[in-house]
Structure 1
């Protein structure tokens, strides 16, 4: 009997592949948790290109990252795994009944682990001003999780890449005003999207950098400095959205002491890593013939889950079709 509360499966990474793995694990009635380093589910798809269309998802001729994540979240909510956001796995240790997992917030225990971290833990690159953290969560945002929050508001968006342009395109129809701030006159984004944005009422503030932030009766006052000039201007907005890209780190992965291959984790045909009881799926998993496609990761998820449960319960019969799994899941809820 376990003296600690163990999950059957812990999934590290809450991107699309990790979300589906958690859904399937719960369909198999496994006690499951997701640990995600960002403050939202969806991983790179949601954080980096929510409005871009994806064309290699079965049954969808085309689907945006946001639409895909929304559908995965609906599916996930039905099966209710435990989800922990804004939490980074720092390491894990083999113990008698499974693994002790240390995160940035807690210690947790699991009989098996499935790693679905994509290219690594992602964190937004933040605005480098001394008082920027004073406004985070109120007027200053690094992620757009709910566009309705910005309806009818005056916004500033800082950044010049695809994601910043995507945000501006998505918010332009509902915001009262948008100022797009970039340190160059040219943008690092799809030309078609930039052309589309120029047909909107978005105001381009280039080439400027944000040099100061200040509170203005609950709104945010920005001081902009023109690049290579002493010229400044001020803007007052309801919200500032910063997208300077995301930094990824594989340091945690290196500390996990698993065999690595091609910047990923080496797995066998069962998607098991060099440590029994730990599996890897999606872009992080590397094996012969592997294709780094989301569709591949979705297919790997049930394989890893079933092998993890076979590792825990070697005498338990493998599942049949999803209809039978759903029937068993619904019976277990009653």
Structure 2
């Protein structure tokens, strides 16, 4: 999924837009900016386009993207990358944007951690949660058996075929992974420290049908033979009663921590870890926009799903086009009416 990788010696290339982030919303932002005849550079810290779709849950089935009744996360990332290539954007992988600074002519200089610099008329921030690292429980034995039976994501469900698996967590990812592994694993147990789940109700109902669910339970210790996981000790956080489970794998799904790097120092208005934007996806910095999970819009429900991010991408790029060229229309017309799109 790599596209037009650039050499570090190509300094101060000029663009209409630099998109920060190569996740699903960043890729669609890149595509739509190209559709509006903008020259685009996309920068992403990972070694493969797709963001969380490829780094956290490539085999997870996505149901809430228009046009796909069901599609795996990895396949969706591939489709978005293919669409993104339509207008030939430049892409820099395994780099992250360290600084953006406004120039005297109101353009922006963008500098990555490698020292690469680009000049751009607009910037679109689509970093999701930032550079991701898994949240760890700190349970005894957890670190010792990391990647030897203790995991923080399910990259390939085939790795869990015939195994006794325990999933820790109560969010969408934890429930989804338990459902995904149930058909291939020997057994699946999910433990959650509460009795309420932060997941789709229909999925929680299905979870109780295909897995053993232990609410009010937490992980105390992971045990093994020195090479692989063999057991886990869990406890009821109300009674403190402990239970030993024979296991082959523990999937800890309690969230990820996003590293935003120097972004809070760019002068951009933020609310906590989120970038404040208006209804036009504009930040407080002229020519700088934000889309996707990183966004906070006052008086607007926070819906951190891909479909919403796609709509934000269209708004941001359309407003950016007008910002670059005041004679342009914010609405560029329907793509079905554009001859260049048909070629």
TM-score after normalising by structure 1: 0.68
Q: How many Å apart are 1:170 and its aligned residue?
A: 1.7
Q: 1:86-122 deviations in whole A, cap 9, x for unaligned? A: x76554334687323345xx34433242012457666
Aligned to 1:325, the other structure's residue is in SS state helix
Q: Show the 5 A alignment for 1:8-23.
A: 8=15, 9-23=17-31
Q: How many Å apart are 1:33 and its aligned residue?
A: 1.6
Aligned to 2:166, the other structure's residue is in SS state strand
The answer to whether residue 231 in structure 2 is matched with residue 255 in structure 1 is no
The answer to whether residue 316 in structure 2 is matched with residue 304 in structure 1 is yes
Aligned to 1:143, the other structure's residue is in SS state coil
- Equivalent-residue separation in structure 2 for 1:7 and 1:132 (angstroms): 47
- Structure 2: gaps of 5 or more residues: 1-8
The answer to whether residue 75 in structure 2 is matched with residue 70 in structure 1 is yes
Aligned to 1:22, the other structure's residue is in SS state helix
The answer to whether residue 233 in structure 2 is matched with residue 221 in structure 1 is no
Counterpart pick for 2:251 among 238, 241, 246:
241
Aligned to 1:254, the other structure's residue is in SS state helix
- Equivalent-residue separation in structure 1 for 2:214 and 2:39 (angstroms): 52
Q: Show the 5 A alignment for 1:13-92.
A: 13-27=21-35, 28=37, 30-35=39-44, 41=50, 43=52, 53-54=63-64, 58-59=66-67, 63=69, 67=72, 70-80=75-85, 82=91, 84=93, 89-92=97-100
8 Å contact kept, 2:22–2:50: yes
Aligned partner of 1:332 in structure 2 is none
Aligned length: 313
Counterpart pick for 2:340 among 311, 325, 334:
325
Q: Show the 5 A alignment for 1:1-334.
A: 4=11, 6=13, 8=15, 9-27=17-35, 28=37, 30-35=39-44, 41=50, 43=52, 53-54=63-64, 58-59=66-67, 63=69, 67=72, 70-80=75-85, 82=91, 84=93, 89-94=97-102, 98-103=108-113, 106-110=114-118, 111=120, 112-118=122-128, 123-129=133-139, 132-133=142-143, 135-137=145-147, 139-183=149-193, 186-189=195-198, 192-200=202-210, 202-204=211-213, 207-217=217-227, 219-227=228-236, 229=240, 231=242, 233=244, 235-237=246-248, 239-247=249-257, 253-260=263-270, 264-267=275-278, 269=280, 271-282=281-292, 284-285=294-295, 295=307, 297-305=309-317, 308=320, 322=335, 323-326=338-341
Structure 1 pair 300–208 and aligned structure 2 pair: CA distance change class (3 A):
closer
8 Å contact kept, 1:91–1:101: yes
Structure 1 pair 324–128 and aligned structure 2 pair: CA distance change class (3 A):
farther
TM-score after normalising by structure 2: 0.67
8 Å contact kept, 1:19–1:73: no
Q: 1:38-93 deviations in whole A, cap 9, x for unaligned? A: 98735599969x55743xx5556xx56x64773353131354463646x7655433
- Equivalent-residue separation in structure 1 for 2:139 and 2:49 (angstroms): 24
8 Å contact kept, 2:277–2:284: yes
Structure 1 pair 307–92 and aligned structure 2 pair: CA distance change class (3 A):
same
CA RMSD of aligned residues (A): 4.6
8 Å contact kept, 2:56–2:153: yes
- Equivalent-residue separation in structure 2 for 1:291 and 1:226 (angstroms): 37
Q: 1:296-321 deviations in whole A, cap 9, x for unaligned? A: 54234245335556767889999776
- Structure 1: gaps of 5 or more residues: 329-334
- Equivalent-residue separation in structure 1 for 2:298 and 2:241 (angstroms): 57
8 Å contact kept, 2:141–2:221: no
Aligned to 2:136, the other structure's residue is in SS state coil
8 Å contact kept, 2:19–2:40: no
Aligned to 2:25, the other structure's residue is in SS state helix
Q: How many Å apart are 1:20 and its aligned residue?
A: 0.9
8 Å contact kept, 1:38–1:123: no
